[in-house]
Structure 1
């Protein structure tokens, strides 16, 4: 499977979060349903519009315009001052919820982030259905709406999330670019500011499609390196990966919210296998070994439970992590319906560091005999590690879905 990236953007974040807090405190009016803005204050008429409601947008009120100008357009406009401490708390809650799906997250502002869907794609029927689940979970639990853009590159995901709002999901795959993106005004392309747009239009370049078909050497002559960047973005070219900050020295983990509550242990362990494969692959990619494994369960009523154990010796083998995760799961699960499963590794050491081996890592004398070869049913740890390396190599060359495990 090729790379799939989500861009998740809160709709009118400041206004939505202020509205929610006022409703919690007893207000009978939802700011989102009336002409309202966040920014400055009504008495001084100073400041700029930081966020606006959809009814305010109908008056032609724009983000970043002076509050005084917005009041002239709509004298009955309701104005609320920003509360950045409140906004940080809502932002943190959203990121916590998103981390229950995957830890491959890059937060780029208080109200938007990128999510690398690729490692967890096999757990969902399609990217659109997964995005719908994320959108609905945010609304059900946090009570605000988000737009989600789905694409193989960050710039395309960002552009897609800016299409029709609120609470919408949009895709922007390469074959959709000519229809969905190229007809848009050049000013709507990500990273094209007002001055650049004016200069482009002065050259007769009105749409993103016209920019995409302009000779890049002409653009670099007039805009330097930014000209090349605009041309690449207009053509959907953006190799930038999702730069998650989860791979710290403390540990590497992965979790996923299930499409439906699970009560069958066999189904739960299939999910654990996918999670262990993701965690072990990232451990190997980072050149690290895990000394401790933790399994987390979130039940249908949102209560949480977790259990952890030390590995026999530090490892990054899918099979070893999976076997320990299953053991922890059997000890932990109380038969209630499961909504989320997570696997996290910690006590990491570098592959090159000396580690204490377990007796199962040592070659047994019996393995040299024909009897051991004919009767052995379980592959040795060494063979399992060779298998992991072979699978990593295939996936690196042909994509994450090129080969899948049937089980353990």
Structure 2
């Protein structure tokens, strides 16, 4: 090896196949269900009654009917009248995701969860198993011990490992190294490139860039002219260039967090919208305090019954983390934004985060602020010990609305007798 050179890394990208459906299917089998949902036309779908009725995950037999993720359940049922629909179980999915991460940590200390159903792993140099054999062993353990399959992409960087894991599915290992990029990656549609969404794909097509190879070989100045810095980033990715490290535990600094919910009815009265905002602020406030963060900017988004969207944000003189403060700011923003037409969906998002111990006091903060914070932290402690339903606000009694929206709480997390 030349003096001063860096040894090549070996990066795995592990992606659970049809994660939500696979996890629901594995759990159902453990609970005595005689049929594996993965072998029949089945989907995980939201509640049609509460208007969350879209396909979240699908089985391979369901895909044969043309059913796609994001499709309204009503359309999916028309395509396949015998379709089996199971509700999402986010508590189960979080535990399955944690079990997957724990298994991977037995193979390397460098594991970075990238989403609920995918992780990066840097395979240690000098390990007794070659990388390909280690990947096969991981896949076998996932299937045998946890009950679901994964795809694994292997490369010398995270980008190419992720691209490789999206090749033929399910339960496969694929290799994609820099020297393979022109042959294996450039013929693929530009929309298959990481960070290319549907809008960007349309822009690329208008520029005559239909494949990943087209993006890789395009004029850089032209890409920057039409897509700014994002265009140059996409060209680096199209050329297989990525130097980002595997960050254990995620490692990405938190820039913001938010909650949103689609109400089971159109909100026409201010008191209805105010109550839904309170349920969102309740969950978001708990998340902020658990993370030890405070927010310096609050934004509210809304979707009208005719699906038009609007949003408004406000930078605060200080920073906040209590449910009462979040709700107050959010409600003021909604009053400014809402024209009174029926609302379908509301959301609260916070950013400009700072550590909770770094608290810039505002001259306008009421003297009761610390007492309120202490009270809410005490409630957080009770909920962490006895469940989120242990303490709820009286205004939610008999309201027909959940006391917490936009997050997972204990009512959605049934206990499990095994890893899944």
**What interval of TM-score do these two structures reach, taking the shorter chain for normalisation?**
0.5 to 0.7
* Distance (Å, rounded) in 2 between the aligned partners of 1:246 and 1:24: 30
Q: Equivalent residue for 1:57?
A: 63
Q: Equivalent residue for 1:264?
A: none
Q: Equivalent residue for 1:343?
A: none
**Correspondence 1:145 to 2:149:** yes
* Distance (Å, rounded) in 2 between the aligned partners of 1:17 and 1:246: 22
- The one of 90, 102, 108 aligned to 2:108: 102
Q: Equivalent residue for 1:227?
A: 231
SS in 2 for 1:148: strand
Does the 8 Å CA contact 1:2/1:152 hold for their aligned counterparts?
yes
* Distance (Å, rounded) in 1 between the aligned partners of 2:247 and 2:98: 18
How far apart are 1:23 and its partner, in Å? 1.1
SS in 2 for 1:135: helix
Does the 8 Å CA contact 1:121/1:127 hold for their aligned counterparts?
no
Q: Equivalent residue for 1:287?
A: none
**Correspondence 1:24 to 2:30:** yes
| Per-residue CA distance 1:365-386 (angstroms, 9 max, x = gap) | xxxxxxxxxxxxxxxxxxxxxx
Q: Equivalent residue for 2:182?
A: 178
1:246/1:100 Cα in 2 relative to 1: closer, same or farther (>3 Å)? Answer: farther
Does the 8 Å CA contact 2:163/2:193 hold for their aligned counterparts?
yes
How far apart are 1:30 and its partner, in Å? 0.7
**Correspondence 1:92 to 2:83:** no
| Per-residue CA distance 1:10-58 (angstroms, 9 max, x = gap) | 0011101101111111111110000111112466785221111011111
* Distance (Å, rounded) in 1 between the aligned partners of 2:152 and 2:134: 10
Please list every run of 5 or more consecutive structure 1 residues that lacks an aligned counterpart in the other structure.
Answer: 248-408
**Correspondence 1:188 to 2:195:** no
* Distance (Å, rounded) in 2 between the aligned partners of 1:66 and 1:136: 34
- The one of 211, 216, 222 aligned to 1:212: 216
How far apart are 1:103 and its partner, in Å? 1.3
* Distance (Å, rounded) in 1 between the aligned partners of 2:158 and 2:250: 19
* Distance (Å, rounded) in 2 between the aligned partners of 1:15 and 1:82: 9
Does the 8 Å CA contact 1:41/1:80 hold for their aligned counterparts?
no
- The one of 138, 154, 173 aligned to 2:158: 154
Does the 8 Å CA contact 2:112/2:247 hold for their aligned counterparts?
yes
- The one of 53, 70, 78 aligned to 1:47: 53
| Per-residue CA distance 1:280-334 (angstroms, 9 max, x = gap) | xxxxxxxxxxxxxxxxxxxxxxxxxxxxxxxxxxxxxxxxxxxxxxxxxxxxxxx
* Distance (Å, rounded) in 2 between the aligned partners of 1:194 and 1:5: 28
Does the 8 Å CA contact 1:149/1:160 hold for their aligned counterparts?
yes
Q: Equivalent residue for 2:243?
A: 239
Greater alpha carbon shift after TM alignment, 121-130 vs 227-236:
121-130
Q: Kindly report the root-mean-square deviation, in angstroms, between the aligned alpha carbons of the 2 structures.
A: 1.6
Which structure's CA Rg is the greater one?
Answer: 1
1:35/1:235 Cα in 2 relative to 1: closer, same or farther (>3 Å)? Answer: same
- The one of 72, 76, 82 aligned to 1:76: 82
SS in 1 for 2:113: strand
Does the 8 Å CA contact 1:45/1:68 hold for their aligned counterparts?
no
SS in 2 for 1:20: helix
Please list every run of 5 or more consecutive structure 2 residues that lacks an aligned counterpart in the other structure.
Answer: 1-6, 252-420
SS in 2 for 1:158: helix
* Distance (Å, rounded) in 2 between the aligned partners of 1:23 and 1:3: 39
- The one of 195, 203, 209 aligned to 2:207: 203
How far apart are 1:5 and its partner, in Å? 0.7
* Distance (Å, rounded) in 2 between the aligned partners of 1:99 and 1:146: 16
How far apart are 1:214 and its partner, in Å? 0.3
The TM-score, its normalising length taken from structure 1, stands at: 0.58
* Distance (Å, rounded) in 2 between the aligned partners of 1:28 and 1:42: 26
Aligned length: 245
* Distance (Å, rounded) in 2 between the aligned partners of 1:241 and 1:208: 24
* Distance (Å, rounded) in 2 between the aligned partners of 1:52 and 1:186: 24
Q: Equivalent residue for 2:41?
A: 35
How far apart are 1:124 and its partner, in Å? 3.3
Greater alpha carbon shift after TM alignment, 150-159 vs 120-129:
120-129
Does the 8 Å CA contact 2:112/2:250 hold for their aligned counterparts?
no
How far apart are 1:220 and its partner, in Å? 0.9
